[in-house]
Structure 1
């Protein structure tokens, strides 16, 4: 069953002659329990896609079906109600900015449950349960975000996203600000989440990180979806010049640095495609 269906999605910013196309006819589906990676360079449209799925950006054309419900024409009030129900959640790149510095970890985790009318005692118990699911100890609950490491904070934000038992979680560059050890921890957690049935969209510029956990990968370039396939297909037999450039540039996907002349050849092919 598809948790997310995006078809012909277009987003344009600005007015008149200065109007810029951020997304160009994007088609994407995500099934329950599936991890789909969305990769591309800065400005490729990755974050715009996520914000449009969340209802924070209004599409110029196309259709969005979330949890079997067509939400394309939703107004701001309808989107707020949908997000409050916790069907879709978002994990930001910078966990320190997404956590209130004056709230304890327990209060930050309990907050989305309290908004839904759940008693505080139950909310705190569930906060402890979900903290363990992201491999963190309950003794972190009384601490403030500034007292945690970057990797711990990111795992807290993932736990908070899961507390409402969403059908879909969008993760925007969730490991880009982490060191190698914490990056591995978070990627392992994402793999574990597949078993729970939640659908994940992993947005990143880092093909190496995405390829290690994603079932399928969608490649965005200048707002257009240029290639989709299984992670193995994208890494082993990329068909589009832009995808081949990303593969050749991913340090974790090659044994030695790519030849500079070959890179320039790929870049020229990309510009001429």
Structure 2
């Protein structure tokens, strides 16, 4: 039998902001039920890639295909219809960007379902169920974003993304602004989603957070993909100098951090290979 096509296929993607190239020939593949981490430092193009996947940034070249549909040239109207169907959802780094501060969080979570034509009763039941799924109590539905902790807000944002039962969820730095305790809670939720078969793209600058839940890791450096491999291979045998720097910056993954001399040599190599 032929292999099932990827749920997400990004091919030769270029994104430019004026004269600045944010992505150059980027590629990303995610299969159904798979979690792929995308790592790199600030400015590497991670968030641009995430936003291009869900239509928030228009690429200059290349293609994005989700669930068999090439979405690259979608109009705003087509994107609205596509998002309304709940095929792919996006979780912002800052949940206050996606949650209306003037609405109780339950209303924000229910909004995508009401746009689909679901009844208020059905939407309310779905809100209670999805809050439980992200380890929050149903009574939080009546509270406003400003009344919640950062970790609670981020889990509400995840709940809003999940309420339409999407095939793919793209998470842009979902734990970077959280303290250690809340980071663990959100990562637990993501681990459960992965185990339940939801495909995830986990964008982060922190390899330690990504490695625990990702099947594969794609490494971005200066807008280009420099390495893609199963997570274990990335952690134990990184090939590109930049990947080796990232691994060395996360000593809990290995026997120890990269020493100063090795770090300097890797940075010298980066200047050579780009």
Q: Same fold (TM over 0.5)?
A: yes
**Who is 2:114 aligned against?**
114
What is the correspondence of 1:147-158 to structure 2 with a 5 Å cutoff? Answer: 147-158=147-158
**Who is 2:72 aligned against?**
72
What is the correspondence of 1:48-63 to structure 2 with a 5 Å cutoff? Answer: 48-63=48-63
Shift of 1:254: 4.3
Structure-2-length-normalised TM-score: 0.94
CA separation in 1, counterparts of 2:254 and 2:245? 12
Any idea what the Cα deviations from partners look like across 1:136-178, whole Å, max 9, x if unmatched? 1112121111111111111111011000111111000000011
CA separation in 2, counterparts of 1:160 and 1:131? 9
Shift of 1:7: 1.0
Shift of 1:97: 3.2
**Who is 2:196 aligned against?**
196
**Who is 1:11 aligned against?**
15
**Who is 2:45 aligned against?**
45
**Who is 1:90 aligned against?**
90
* Deviating more after overlay: 110-119 vs 254-263: 254-263
Secondary structure at the aligned position of 1:141 is classed as helix
Contact kept, 8 Å, 2:13 with 2:24, in 1: the verdict is yes
CA separation in 1, counterparts of 2:99 and 2:74? 28
**Who is 2:247 aligned against?**
247
Shift of 1:199: 0.9
Shift of 1:98: 2.3
Shift of 1:186: 1.0
**Who is 1:28 aligned against?**
28
**Who is 2:238 aligned against?**
238
Structure 2: gaps (5+ residues): none
Structure-1-length-normalised TM-score: 0.95
Shift of 1:262: 1.7
Matched residues, number? 269
* Deviating more after overlay: 159-168 vs 102-111: 102-111
**Who is 2:142 aligned against?**
142
Q: Return closer, same or farther for 1:171/1:100 CA change in 2, 3 Å cut-off.
A: same
* Deviating more after overlay: 60-69 vs 204-213: 60-69
Any idea what the Cα deviations from partners look like across 1:226-247, whole Å, max 9, x if unmatched? 0000111001000000000111
Any idea what the Cα deviations from partners look like across 1:41-93, whole Å, max 9, x if unmatched? 11111111111111122211111111111122222221121112221111011
Q: CA RMSD in A?
A: 1.3
Shift of 1:197: 2.2
* Deviating more after overlay: 92-101 vs 35-44: 92-101
